[in-house]
Amino acid sequence: MADTGLLEALLRLLEKVDGGIDSQDVAADLGVDHQLIVGAVKSLQALGEVISAEQKSSKRWELTGEGREIAEQGSHEARVFNAIPDEGLPQNELMKMPSGKVGFSKAMSNKWIRLDKAHEGGPRVFKTVETIEDTVRDKLQLVQKGLSAKLEDKEKNELKKRKLLSEVTVKSYWITKGSSFSTTITKQETELTPEMIASGSWKEKKFKPYNFEAMGVAPDCGHLHPLMKVRTQFRQIFLEMGFTEMPTNNFIESSFWNFDSLFQPQQHPARDQHDTFFISDPALAHEFPQDYLERVKQVHSEGGYGSQGYKYDWKIEEAQKNLLRTHTTAVSARMLYKLAQQKFTPVKYFSIDRVFRNETLDATHLAEFHQIEGVVADYGLTLGNLMGILHQFFTKLGLKKWVEVGNSGVFRPEMLLPMGLPEGVSVIAWGLSLERPTMIKYGINNIRELVGHKVNLQMVYDSPICRLDS
Amino acid sequence: MPTVSVKRDLLFEALGQKYTDEEFDELCFEFGLELDEITSEKEILIREQGDEKAEGASDVVLYKIDVPANRYDLLCLEGLVRGLQVFKEKLEAPRYKRVSPADGGEPQRLVITEETASVRPHAVAAVLRNITFTQERYESFIELQEKLHQNICRKRTLVAIGTHDLDTISGPFTYTAKPPGEIRFKPLNQSKEYTATELMSLYKTDSHLRHYLHIIENEPLYPIIYDSNGIVLSMPPIINGDHSKISLNTKNIFIECTATDLTKAKTTLDMVVTMFSEYCEEPFTVEGAEVVYPDGRLCVYPELAYRTETLSGDFINKRVGINESAESIAQLLTRMCLRSEVSGEGDLIQVEIPPTRADVIHACDIMEDAAIAYGFNNIVRSTPRTYTIANQLPLNKLTELLRQDLAAAGFTEALTFALCSEEDIADKLRKNIAETRAVHISNPKTTEFQVARTCLLPGLLKTLAANRKMPLPLKLFEISDVVLKDETKDVGARNNRRLCAVYYNKSPGFEVIHGLLDRVMQLLDVKPGRNQGYHIQAAEDSTFFPGRCAEIFSCGKSIGHLGVLHPDVISRFELTMPCSAIDIDIEPFL
């Protein structure tokens, strides 16, 4: 904030004029440096509508360093003239003066002095006139006072040639009265302080306006991962629909639960080394519900439960092979088997967890991803029920084209009956990946930008909250 | 899901009707198929190999149709047309019939010797008599075999098909197995004879056949079929002999399928003969062939078995969620090539499953066909009445709550892979892999998938390394599962839910990580203290800088570590700043 006295002086000047004034003129009027006036203009602008100021630029003549010296002390020739007493001065002494050389030749050509080379004791300089008129100094003083307009262009150019004047571009403000013009200044406060609140002084104070165009300061905080935010929403949807969460914290699964229990034949291509990660250590599972395993073996190799079966040589060795589960349906199978060991009650289950595929990787496929799965087991469920519940689920997601992102179906009796579930019980289920809808939702094309260590943390910092239905 | 490629004009000609692309797409959808793509050979070549290679290629319009994985009867134009015509009730499903040779002749015979037992023990055979090929029919016949090989035959591992010009060979045929050095014949489309050993090296570079060599390569005996004059018909599952190859002019075809799975062999043979008997002099009849087993048993193939299932209209209605009369359901099923009649007993329906529908193995498959014919879009959607109370898994509930508060404490959540390299969890952390209790993967395609992670730290450090350009400090956390070997579990391994956090800055910030521990314990309502509370105690751990590591105890039990990472660990993860970390098991807090 510039000094209040200067501000008020400026305002008083402005009060007297119609229209406006130039800041350069204000500087000249008040006899202060222009930069101070510029500061004062800015301070006044910050006060609101006291003044308005428009920046402009103009050309103006200014004294050089040497020009200023001459304006103060007179021209070199005048200084030489004034230094000579009536009895004259030896030339060599005159030449020792700072202005000696230049002043001597100028004063000679002005015929103000003469040189007596033959004087006894060496060459000596004498005045030839009584008084002189130092026009150079007069002209420079005019310019110094801002009255350069009184000089003719020819005169100015000559002084410019002598490096006493220079022409410069000056920036200045055209200052006019603002809508709340006043000649007194109320100092503006930047912030409300506890003292102001305590004393009530805030009532009298004016506050400096905020710049609402600027961004705020980013809060110092942590962030949740966007895929996990979507996972939270999917959990929420299932919970809202009355689905209980399954324990999917077992990435290592036996082929038995991952494939055989689901009535997937042992020659199925999904069980190929190219599609599934098998485990070398611990290579085999060693514990199965034995009578259930026998029933699974039977339904694969001979049929039963109304089924023809696949009629092949089912091998326990194949079922024992450990793997990284390829779907969370392995857990659904374990849960349904467990359910079948009790008196049947209807259930709705869900899970969202990692599954693994030994696939070729590309922009949308990784070796591991999250599978979302919903399962309903009850008497008398129909295909119409499956379609109905899918519709409700995907409506909550805000996804219209759900066929594109998921799979659904009714579990086969060859899977359910060997578990011991009652004959009339149907189990409907559906699944989809967590990554796919998230990528669609957030417009991410490369899955590596979302999942894994190559994630861009800035993306994590910047990601919005997840509201699936909006 | 296999894709069948058919020429559009041929398809429409066979259907006796022209469709617009949209109409045909709609028809496919109604029938449970999907018109995947409309293209041409030229278009495919341009896409795959560029304009130059495509020059002169055919621009006949091709329909690529996705067929359900087990509908082998729709893998060729003939089957597709038959299925659609029956569906549209323009045609009654044909009855396939096995017949004896005309004029009371002896049936063809294939004798299996016991040597085959060790390598490929099963074989079935049949004869198509007086067939008339055209260029298109011939191509379709070859293409169907290829499709079957890729699908039901599981790339020839389960079944391999050989088709021969019967007029060039004479039975009885012998299916045996011999050492590769003793097998010698002129294979299909070659100009000279090779031994089986030579063939295996010849085909090493064959873009098509090299994929099948592994099936018998390491066997001491290779399967081989001879005719009565010692002419080689085929060396399954690799190649046929050149002598008996079929051509456009072939009239009588001997078909053999050798297999490791007899059920699949019978189905495959049924598919080939039901599809192409259409072009026999007497359509849809197939001449049986005898197969004699090493134990003397004699079977006649193809089986072409029809089976009848009886189910009630009520069953279909209740499972689908519709309300149709038994008669109307029978009609729906008949349109799906499952000839059905109302038996007159209540609402019971007798459904005949033809040999072409090997995929129908249970009443639920019949139900599904009824739903397709009824139209999925015509089924009324309804909400199940199943009333249940939802429960969260306590471990996931705790995880969700902690995640929120860790973010509130200024840490950012990372999401890293559960699979990694051995190096990540051992060498880079200055640990011995043998001591990690890691689960090892037997068939990783790259080192990125050698093991399941045993700790979360490597993933977080890799995340830091990928984000070195971000302003410091970097504060990351993850709450997720690691996998550890555990003999007490049925599969010998278990997951363990862990919380890991790192602080990466110009100074190690042990106090920051220590403060995070205090905060987590506060959230878990565990007070500082030696017995019922938590405390930390100086410990040595090779991952951490000596003297800068402590073990964390809660209620007297060790739950993890915290400390400043060892400089070697930092360098090995391509980091340059000091870093402190905490890693704890959260399962004790359930």
At B329 the pLDDT is 96
pLDDT value at A1 more than 60: no
Decide if A278 and B318 are in contact by the 8 Å CB cutoff: no
Flag if A223 and B407 touch (Cβ within 8 Å): yes
In this prediction, residue B252 carries a pLDDT of: 95
Which of B406, B417, B491 has the CB atom closest to A452's CB atom?
B417
The Cα B94–Cα B286 span in angstroms is 13
A contact test, residue of B120, B154, B415 with most A CBs within 10 A: B415
* Helix or strand (DSSP H, E) at B258: strand B253-259
DSSP state of A174: E
Q: What is the mean pLDDT of residues A99-119?
A: 82
Percent of chain B at pLDDT > 70 equals: 100
Residue B437: name the closest of B485, B492, B493 by CA: B485
The SS3 call for residue B282 is: coil
Number of Cβ atoms within 10 Å of the Cβ of B585: 17
DSSP state of B435: G
- Candidates A250, A368, A376; nearest CB to B384: A376
Q: What is the mean pLDDT of chain A?
A: 88
In B, minimum Cα distance to A355 occurs at B418
Of B261, B320, B383, the CB nearest to A383: B320
Give chain A positions within 8 Å (CB) of B456.
Answer: none
Q: Do B449 and A277 make contact, defined as CB atoms within 8 angstroms?
A: yes
pLDDT-above-70 percentage for chain A: 98
**Is there a contact between B396 and A285 if contact means CB atoms under 8 Å apart?**
no
Comparing alpha-carbon positions, the chain A residue that sits nearest to B482 is A251
Is the pLDDT score of A170 beyond 80?
no
Asked if residue B438 lies in contact with residue B452, where contact means CB atoms within 8 angstroms, the answer is yes
Q: What residue type is B298 in one-letter code?
A: L
DSSP-assigned letter for residue A359: P
pLDDT in tens, A17-26: 888 888 888 8
B388: confidence class by pLDDT, cuts 50, 70, 90: very high
Do residue B412 and residue A283 have CB atoms under 8 angstroms apart? Answer: no
Comparing CA positions, the residue from A339, A332, A348, A335 lying closest to residue A238 is: A348
| pLDDT at res. A401 | 59
Output the six-digit token pair for B543: 């991952």
Length of chain B: 590
Of the candidates A285, A358, A458, the beta carbon closest to that of B491 is on A285
Range list of H helices, A1-99:
4-16, 23-30, 34-46, 65-73, 76-83, 91-95
At A400 the pLDDT is: 65
The pLDDT of residue A470: 64
The predicted pLDDT at position A109 comes to: 82
What confidence tier does A2 reach under pLDDT thresholds 50, 70, 90? low
Report chain B's mean pLDDT, rounded to a whole number: 94
Q: Hey, are the CB atoms on A312 and B261 less than 8 Å from each other?
A: yes
Q: Cα–Cα distance between A390 and A432 in angstroms, integer?
A: 11
On whether the CB atoms of residues B396 and B402 are closer than 8 A, the answer is: no
Contact between A378 and B384 under an 8 Å Cβ cutoff? The reply is yes
Cβ contact (<8 Å) for A391 and B381?
Answer: yes
How far off is chain B from A453, nearest CA to CA, in Å? 4
**Identity of residue B365:** D
pLDDT score of A131: 82
Q: What pLDDT was estimated at residue A337?
A: 98
Cβ contact B410–A222 (<8 Å)? yes
* Length of chain A measured in residues: 470
pLDDT at A96: 81
Which residue from A minimizes the CA distance to B158? A267
Residue B31 has a pLDDT of 93
Q: Give the pTM.
A: 0.81
Output the pLDDT for position A405.
64
- pLDDT classification of B212: cutoffs 50, 70, 90: very high
Nearest CB among A246, A284, A382 relative to B321 is that of: A382
Check CB contact under 8 Å for B414 and A312.
no
Instruction: Kindly state the average pLDDT of the residues B202-217.
Output: 92
Nearest by CB to B410, from A220, A228, A254: name it.
A220
What are the DSSP calls for B178-247, one per residue? E-GGG-EE-BTT-SS-EEHHHHHHHGGG-TTGGGTGGGTTT-SSEEEEE-TTS-EEEETTTEEBSTT---
pLDDT tier at B535, thresholds 50, 70, 90: very high
- How far is residue A110's CA from residue A87's CA, in Å, rounded to a whole number? 20
pLDDT at site A115: 82
Per CB-CB distance under 8 Å, the chain A contacts of B475 are 222
Per-residue pLDDT, averaged over A112-134, amounts to: 82
A384–B416 CB contact, under 8 Å: no
pLDDT of residue B251: 95
Q: Do the Cβ atoms of A382 and B494 come within 8 Å? A: no
Is the model more confident about A321 or about B60? A321
Q: What is the pLDDT of residues A57-86, one digit of tens each?
A: 877 788 888 888 888 888 888 888 888 888
Task: Classify residue A121 as exposed, middle or buried by CB count within 10 Å of its CB (0-12, 13-18, 19+).
Answer: exposed
**Lookup: tokens for B83:** 């299925």
Q: Is the pLDDT of residue B24 over 60?
A: yes
Residue B273 or A51, more confident: B273
pLDDT band at A147 (very low <50, low <70, confident <90, very high): confident
Adjacency order of strands within the sheet including A165-177: A20-22, A165-177, A51-63
